[in-house]
Amino acid sequence: MPKTHPLTTVDAAWLRMEDPTNLMMVSGIITFKKLIDFDHLRAVIEHKLLTFDRFRMRVVQSRLPFSPAYWEPDPTFNLNAHLHRVALPSPGDKAALQEMASDLMSTPLDFSKPLWQFHLIENYGEGCAIMCRLHHCIADGMALVFVLLSLTDMVPGVPPPTASDVSVEKNEAAEGSRMLNSLVQQGAKAVGTVWETTSKVASESLEALVNPAHAMELALKGTDTALAAGRLFLRSPDPKTLFKGKLGVAKRAAWSHPLPLRDVKKIKNVTGSTVNDVLVSAMTGGLRRYMLSKGANVEGLNFRAAVPVNLRTPEQMGELGNKFGIVFLSLPVGIGDPLERLHEVHKRMVELKNSKEAPVALGILSAMGMSPNELQGTLVRLFGSKTTAVMTNVPGPPMPLYLAGQKIEGLMFWVPQSGRVSLGISILSYANKVFLGVATDAGLVPDPNEIMEGFYTEFDALMALVHEAEAVAAQEEATKAAKSTAVSVEMAASPSPSADAATHPDQCQATTKSGRQCRNRPLDGSDFCRVHQAKSG
């Protein structure tokens, strides 16, 4: 049985930031076209998820002053308290699922038990969905993806695990960790450039997942780390917009239909940008459209999105806990032209290259975990004043996966909007598709689907550029083909000396009725024989 141990300072920071109006939960939705067997799912969770000790442990606040909270095994652990089976009300469509997901995102976890729950949601069309929630003090978003991957299979028809499998799974834990790490890396490679925001620092590129220690190296070997910390605190506050205000308990969630990754790449190739540039620019346009629909002024408007950056090494990919930093991306909401906005987003992404803010922000989070409550509250407010949204991006596996015997059709997740931020934006790739999600405070943005509709409009505008480029290329190809055909016809119609004339200059140059060169010898001083000389005369 695992022993008690204190929370790390970063994990403690997320625990302390818990607030009824801003729950510190990482939430995920998994959808299926077919119904999952509940007993099969229970066996998967029991024999795979619970191999992570922390899912059997609860957080206990120390009774001693200034002593840290600590993890201890839950003496009355019962899986039934964490795994629930519910039915989606009629009509069982996406709108109903979003409503239920929103309610669960607004409901706190039970702090007397391990801080996680799974809900199997039946009656979602012909299939079902799973809503998973875990507290941020257990793990961050990247770790959650790793946990979810650990529950899946790469082929259908795998039977439920049994008690006899547990010892085998523990013996093979290291090998499984390596396989899952490889799977995460393949996901990053499939998306291509997922966060070129900070190039080698951010979690877009394959190097960022494989070698995030480079981020720490950037901070430690330079002398301007203090300047990076200073920039975090000395930045002017974000402008007041309809996305900022007093938060309430109720939250709202919406997510997109799957976008083919090939379409995003087409836009990337035509515009000279990156996959991430395209998605961020279109979402920025969606936010702009939402503000305009509410009569808000967007002229020259820019506001920041806090972007979590993975700082794990390959060896740490299987570990729970929090190990990420934050960079700030300024979103050009004031630019209306989709192509101009895309170019500006790309420019700002490049400017964040090799930023030292990510590891600095990790240090600030650590300090928040150690500071007294009053000081921590000040830091949270200060941190939150610098940003309007939290924007996360996780490259998932490029191939379909199976959970409890059924194929996963779609994935979406949200991290908490720490620092009293009301707007969360998530981007996730899976099986060569891209999913985007929006989480909002219900009092400030009651219907995030309006933002998603604006995103679709902006994405379609960028796709129109692709269609225009394809049409121009097709026209150029058709013109080239027409010119080639015209030249061929002209050459075929032009008279040319016969092959025989070219090879037999000592014969009559006339052509017989059969189309061949006359074989007679020409008269002296003439090109023709006696017969054809007479005809020509």
Q: Is the confidence at residue 219, as pLDDT, over 60?
A: no
Range 20-47 average pLDDT: 93
CA 497 from centroid of its chain's CA atoms: 67
pLDDT given at position 413: 86
Q: Is the confidence at residue 239, as pLDDT, over 50?
A: yes
Q: Is the confidence at residue 379, as pLDDT, over 80?
A: no
pLDDT given at position 86: 97
Range 297-307 average pLDDT: 92
pLDDT band (50, 70, 90) for residue 200: very low
Q: Average pLDDT, whole number, for the chain?
A: 77
- Ranges 20-29, 61-70, 349-358: which has the least confidence: 349-358
Q: Which amino acid, residue 375? A: L
- Ranges 182-191, 224-233, 263-272, 347-356: which has the least confidence: 182-191
pLDDT given at position 474: 79
- C-alpha distances out from residue 279 to 114, 388, 435, Å: 36, 18, 10
Contacts of 522 (CB under 8 A, 6+ apart): 506, 507, 508, 509, 528, 529, 533
Q: How far apart, in whole angstroms, are the C-alpha atoms of residue 164 and residue 124?
A: 33
Q: Can you read off the two tokens belonging to residue 351?
A: 């400017």
pLDDT given at position 472: 84
Q: How far apart, in whole angstroms, are the C-alpha atoms of residue 157 and residue 159?
A: 6
Among 115, 126, 5, smallest CA distance to 55 is for 115
pLDDT band (50, 70, 90) for residue 491: low
pLDDT band (50, 70, 90) for residue 213: very low
CA 227 from centroid of its chain's CA atoms: 30
Cβ atoms within 10 Å of 354's Cβ, excluding its own: 12
pLDDT tens, residue by residue, 462-482: 999 999 888 888 787 777 777
Q: Is the confidence at residue 30, as pLDDT, over 70?
A: yes
Q: How far apart, in whole angstroms, are the C-alpha atoms of residue 522 and residue 530?
A: 7
pLDDT band (50, 70, 90) for residue 522: confident
Question: Are the C-beta atoms of residues 33 and 391 closer than 8 Å to each other?
Answer: no
Q: Is the confidence at residue 299, as pLDDT, over 70?
A: yes
Among 17, 25, 30, 19, smallest CA distance to 105 is for 25
Q: How far apart, in whole angstroms, are the C-alpha atoms of residue 321 and residue 313?
A: 13
pLDDT given at position 521: 81
Question: Are the C-beta atoms of residues 253 and 445 closer than 8 Å to each other?
Answer: no
- pTM value is 0.76
Question: Are the C-beta atoms of residues 418 and 14 closer than 8 Å to each other?
Answer: yes
Torsion of CA 193, 194, 199, 201, to 10 degrees: -140
